[in-house]
C-alpha cells in the first residue's frame, strides 16, 4: 500500500508533541499528516519533518481520507471523535481511557499482545501509562511462572496529567522558592514540594480510578482474568517518568536472578540492578528513553513466592506516544488496515 495518511488529534499536547517527535525519529511512513487540537490552537504551526504544518479544526471530514487517527486529547474528545473517525474509515489509536475496557476494542502493548490487533474494528486503545510500564516488566515473568497477585505503589510525574500540570509545578516551585504563597488549580492540593495520594476520582470501593485501571487493564492485556492487583497511585513533583514499587506473588518461587534474566531478554525492558554501585532506575535517566527500566529486584521477605522491584519509564513515550506508534507499525506489518468503503 501507499504510505498512510495520518491525523493527530491533540497535536499540541504533552503526548501529541512527543508523538510527532517519535514519528520523525522512527521514520514512520506518512503520506499526508494533518494536525488538530482545540479551537484555541487553530492557526498555530508545528514543525514536523522540516515542514511547518498548520493546526486545523477537528471536524469530522478531516478523517475522510485518513488511514490512521491518533487521538490524544481527553476522554470526552475521544468519546465524541473516535466513532466518527472509525466510521469514516480511519483506524483509531486512542490514548484516552474511553474505550480501553470495551470488549470490542483491543487494548494493546505490542510487545505483549499484538495478536489482539487482528480483531480490531477500526478502534484500538493504548493502556494507562502506569499500567503499560508495569505489564512490560511483569509479562516475561508471568509467562514463565504465572502471577497471582500484584501490589503496586506508583510515583507518577505531573506530565501524566498534561501540559497544564507541568506549568503548575513550575509556577508553584518558583513561587514557593521566592517565599510567595500558591493556589492550586490543576490538583486539589499544592504539588510542588508535596506528594498527593490521589490520581483521578475516588471510586466507591475507596480506590481511585487510576488504581482500578492498573487492575482491569493488566488483566485484559495479559489475558489473565484472575490476577489480583492492589495499587496506590501517587502524584509526585517530578516532570517526566513514572516510578513504581511493585511486589509480585507467583504460583511458584522465582529467584531474583531468574527474573533479571527473563526481563533482560524481553524487548523494550532494560535491567539496571547493581546495589553495590547504587545502580537502579531513576526518573531523570528514563526521561526521553524508550525502554522500561527495572531494578531493586529482590526476594519479597513477606512471601516465599514473592519478588519486589522498582520499575521506571517515560510516561509520555512508552506510556503513551511510543506505544501508539508501535501499534500502528504492527498494524502495517500485519496488513490490518481495513479497505476503505
Ligand X SMILES: NC(=O)c1ccc[n+]([C@@H]2O[C@H](COP(=O)([O-])OP(=O)(O)OC[C@H]3O[C@@H](n4cnc5c(N)ncnc54)[C@H](OP(=O)(O)O)[C@@H]3O)[C@@H](O)[C@H]2O)c1
Least distance in angstroms from the C-beta of 215 to ligand X: 17
**Does 37 participate in binding ligand X (rule CB under 6 A)?**
yes
**Catalytic-residue membership of 36:** no
And the C-alpha cell for 251?
Answer: 504460583
| Residue among 20, 67, 86, 95 that touches ligand X (CB under 6 A) | 95
| Residue among 22, 36, 108, 254 that touches ligand X (CB under 6 A) | 36
Instruction: Count the neighbouring beta carbons within 10 Å of the beta carbon of residue 103.
Output: 7
| Residue among 320, 322, 325, 328 that touches ligand X (CB under 6 A) | 320
Give me the helices (H) in 246-293, please: 256-264, 283-286
Q: How many residues bind ligand X (CB under 6 A)?
A: 31
The single residue listed with the C-alpha cell 520523525 is: 24
Q: In terms of CB distance, is 95 or 116 closer to ligand X?
A: 95
Burial 31-63 (b: 16+ CB within 10 A, else e): eebbbbbbeebeeeebebeeeebebbebeeebb
| Residue among 7, 77, 90, 221 that touches ligand X (CB under 6 A) | 77
Angle at 113 between CA 205 and CA 235, to 5 degrees: 40
Instruction: Count the neighbouring beta carbons within 10 Å of the beta carbon of residue 171.
Output: 14
| Residue among 72, 131, 133, 243 that touches ligand X (CB under 6 A) | 72
Q: Which stretch binds ligand X (CB under 6 A): 4-12, 193-201, 250-258, 260-268?
A: 4-12
| Residue among 82, 150, 319, 326 that touches ligand X (CB under 6 A) | 319
Q: How far is CA 48 from the centre of its chain?
A: 22
**Does 40 participate in binding ligand X (rule CB under 6 A)?**
yes
Which H/E stretch holds residue 215? helix 209-222
Q: Which stretch binds ligand X (CB under 6 A): 106-114, 156-164, 170-178, 183-191?
A: 156-164
Catalytic residue among 120, 129, 142, 233: 129
Q: In terms of CB distance, is 82 or 272 closer to ligand X?
A: 82
320 to each of 26, 75, 82, 113, 134, how far by Cα in Å?
Answer: 15, 14, 17, 16, 13
**Does 15 participate in binding ligand X (rule CB under 6 A)?**
yes
**Does 312 participate in binding ligand X (rule CB under 6 A)?**
no
The single residue listed with the C-alpha cell 501508539 is: 324
**Residue number closest to ligand X, CB atom:** 13
> Contact, 155 vs 242, CB < 8 A?
yes
Beta bridge partners of 268: none
User: Active-site positions?
Assistant: 129, 242
Residues in contact with ligand X by CB under 6 A are 9-16, 36-38, 40-41, 58, 72-75, 77, 95-96, 129, 159-160, 162-164, 315-316, 319-320
Amino acid at each position: 500500500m501507499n504510505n498512510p495518511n495520518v491525523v493527530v488529534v491533540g497535536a499540541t499536547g504533552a503526548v501529541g508533541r512527543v508523538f510527532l517527535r517519535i514519528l520523525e525519529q522512527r521514520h514512520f511512513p506518512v503520506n499526508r499528516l494533518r494536525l488538530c487540537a482545540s479551537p484555541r490552537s487553530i492557526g498555530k504551526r508545528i514543525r514536523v519533518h522540516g515542514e511547518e504544518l498548520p493546526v486545523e479544526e477537528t471536524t469530522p471530514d478531516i478523517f475522510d481520507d485518513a488511514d490512521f487517527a491518533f487521538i490524544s486529547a481527553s476522554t470526552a474528545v475521544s468519546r465524541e471523535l473516535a466513532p466518527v473517525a472509525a466510521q469514516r474509515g480511519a483506524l483509531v489509536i486512542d490514548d484516552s481511557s474511553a474505550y480501553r475496557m470495551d470488549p470490542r476494542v483491543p487494548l494493546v502493548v505490542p510487545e505483549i499482545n499484538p495478536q489482539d490487533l487482528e480483531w480490531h474494528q477500526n478502534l484500538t486503545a493504548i493502556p494507562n501509562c502506569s499500567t503499560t510500564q508495569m505489564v512490560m516488566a511483569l509479562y516475561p515473568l508471568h509467562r514463565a511462572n504465572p502471577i497471582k497477585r500484584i501490589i503496586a505503589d506508583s510515583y507518577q510525574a505531573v506530565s501524566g496529567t498534561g501540559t497544564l500540570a507541568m506549568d503548575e509545578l513550575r509556577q508553584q516551585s518558583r513561587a514557593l522558592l521566592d517565599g510567595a504563597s500558591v493556589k492550586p488549580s490543576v490538583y486539589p492540593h499544592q504539588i510542588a514540594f508535596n506528594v498527593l495520594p490521589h490520581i483521578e476520582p475516588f471510586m466507591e470501593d475507596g480506590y481511585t480510578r487510576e488504581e482500578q485501571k492498573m487492575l482491569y487493564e493488566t488483566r485484559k492485556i495479559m489475558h489473565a482474568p484472575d490476577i489480583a492487583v492492589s495499587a496506590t497511585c501517587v502524584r509526585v513533583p517530578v516532570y517526566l517518568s513514572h516510578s513504581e514499587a511493585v511486589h509480585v506473588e507467583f504460583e511458584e518461587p522465582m529467584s531474583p536472578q531468574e527474573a533479571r534474566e527473563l526481563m533482560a531478554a524481553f524487548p523494550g525492558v532494560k535491567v539496571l540492578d547493581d546495589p553495590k554501585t547504587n545502580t537502579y532506575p531513576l526518573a531523570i535517566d528514563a526521561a526521553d528513553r524508550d525502554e522500561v527500566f527495572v531494578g531493586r529486584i529482590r526476594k519479597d521477605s513477606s512471601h516465599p513466592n514473592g519478588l519486589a522491584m522498582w520499575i521506571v519509564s517515560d510516561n509520555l513515550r512508552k506510556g503513551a506516544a511510543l506505544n501508539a506508534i508501535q501499534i500502528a507499525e504492527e498494524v502495517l506489518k500485519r496488513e490490518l488496515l481495513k479497505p476503505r468503503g
